[in-house]
Amino acid sequence: MALMITDECINCDVCEPECPNDAIYLGEAYYEIDPHKCTECVGHFDEPQCVQICPVACIPVNPEFVENRETLMQKYLRLQAEKGL
């Protein structure tokens, strides 16, 4: 399951630097999450860092990208390989 940022986002800028996969970026109106890069921090942390730090709790699971932990780990490994790590 990738995460998503809802329109309740206040653009406080705290989530973007916390993302270890660089999946969070500033969209037209508010921050967004690239579901192809989001691993819910699997491979990096025990819990999604953006969810932990968000002051308005506007980062739910994206229902269009339902993935289990194994799939998220495979995505993490692919992203690391693409970075050359």
Mean pLDDT of 57-62: 97
Fold of the CATH domain 16-83: Alpha-Beta Plaits (3.30.70)
CA 63 to chain centre: 14
Residues 6+ apart with CB under 8 A from 13: none
| Alpha-carbon gap, residue 1 to 79, rounded angstroms | 16
The domain limits of the chain are 16-83
Q: Give the tens place of pLDDT for each residue, 24-49.
A: 999 999 999 999 999 999 999 999 99
What's the whole-model pTM score? 0.92
| Alpha-carbon gap, residue 72 to 85, rounded angstroms | 17
